[in-house]
Amino acid sequence: MDHSLWKLSLTVWTALATVACGSSPEAESDASATESTTAGTSEDTSSSDASSGSDSTAGTESGSTDGTGSSGSDSDATSDPTTEGTQTDSDATSDPTTDSDATSDPTTDSDATSDPTTDSDATSDPTTDATTDATTDTDSGTDTDSGTETDTGGFNPLLDTPNLWYAVHQSLIYIEINPADGTVVQLVHNQLLADIPLVQGQNGLTMLEDGSLLGSRESVNGTQIYHIADPPMTPNTTADAVVLGMVPSDLMNQPPLRIEALYTDCDGRVYLMDTGVDVSNPIGNRLLRFTGDYLGGDLAFEVITDLQNASVGDIDDMSPGIVNGDINDKDGFAMDSSFLWSIDYTTGTGMELAQTDGTWGIHALGGPLFDDDKARLYILSMGNDNTGAELFEVDLNDYSNSAALVEGPDLNLNVGTNGWSGLAGPLTDCVTLLPQ
């Protein structure tokens, strides 16, 4: 046989034998490497899944957290996923290309490890809920504050309903007026108890801007000023008073001042009627006004008007006026032993309007206190040995008075009368016309 033909036949036989017997060692090695790499990848993936589950559990149970959001136990469980994958690859093959592919799988581990971060995000939901709840609580507090504000600016029966007061000796009398028609609803008599005994004498009385009462009690030895912070409107409730001091004299070598009446203007300033030489004539009468903190005991005053040469009588009580249906603190009303006067408080000029059944007490109540928005004028009689003081309403058209609306208690006094007092009540909103 030709040598070339023999060599070709040998080559064909070898190829056929190879096909019949399987892969060559090199191919077998390559296949083994491929299988090992696949196994390594599977193990890495399984390890990654297991690590992820362990991380998630550890992240939930652990109290401390590292920078990635995984707990310390997460680090021990995860260890080094890259090393775990490399050891498997090393046993299976040394193919660097396959190792590189397999090594990239720990990125999956890293992604799985990031699941606790997802848990952390989930944990933020309760935080959000808690924040929402807290905000709701805060809003609730705001509502409460709003209620408190509503209460602070709320209804005050002393200032927002028609009512009248007088005080005699150790008694304080409250008269509730009906806002529908100006008649009397009830009269309440309570004990007046001062921290220092009050002298038995003529009583001046005025209501301050807060509804409290300021009183004066005069005698030949001077005049006490006292304050009732919370005038009682219900029976069997003591009216507690604090004596603020004695009105000082501003005249050299003169006896202590005797104050017969008190008055409050539209700005809340308090005036005093100095009776002068005695309580029976206008000689020495002056209109005074407190300048100090009288509730704190500073009873300093200034002279507003000299009334001894005025064209009005010896004033026993003062009231705001009613001009065109509105309260007016400059052009007022005054009483002098049953005679009703109009008076300009800045000049002392005035005019006698009528003789009435009242004696000393007088007060005007503003229209806003009544349903018909009409202002009303009331006067108080002194009573006698058998009757208490009586309250009357004055007709503003002709200044005649009504029949008695109510009779107060008979106080069984040894000195004075049952109506030995001025009359006080609330002053509705108005603009002062008196000098500053």
Confidence of residue 274 (pLDDT cuts 50, 70, 90): very high
Instruction: Classify 162-407 by CATH class.
Output: mainly beta
pLDDT for the residue numbered 280: 72
The backbone torsions φ and ψ at residue 58, rounded to the nearest 5 degrees and listed phi first, read: -65, -40
Note whether 252 and 278 are within 8 A (CB). no
Q: What is the tens place of the pLDDT at every residue in 139-161?
A: 433 343 333 333 445 899 999 99
Give Cα separations from 336 to 85, 108, 275 (angstroms). Answer: 116, 106, 12
Spans of all domains in the chain: 3-113, 162-407
In the numeric block, the tokens 């909103």 are attached to 429
Confidence of residue 289 (pLDDT cuts 50, 70, 90): very high
Number of H helices, E strands in the chain: 8, 19
Cα separation, 266 vs 149, in Å, equals: 25
Question: Other CB atoms closer than 10 Å to residue 295's CB: what's the count?
Answer: 16
Q: What is the tens place of the pLDDT at every residue in 187-211?
A: 999 999 999 999 999 999 999 999 9
Q: What is the tens place of the pLDDT at every residue in 220-261?
A: 999 999 999 999 999 999 999 999 999 999 877 788 899 999
Give Cα separations from 45 to 15, 59, 94 (angstroms). Answer: 41, 20, 20
Strand duo 376-380 + 361-365: pairing: antiparallel
The chain-wide mean pLDDT, for the chain, equals 76
Q: Which segment of 5-9, 33-37, 288-292, 419-423 scores lowest on mean pLDDT?
A: 33-37
Among candidates 372, 328, 331, which has minimal Cα distance to 353?
Answer: 331
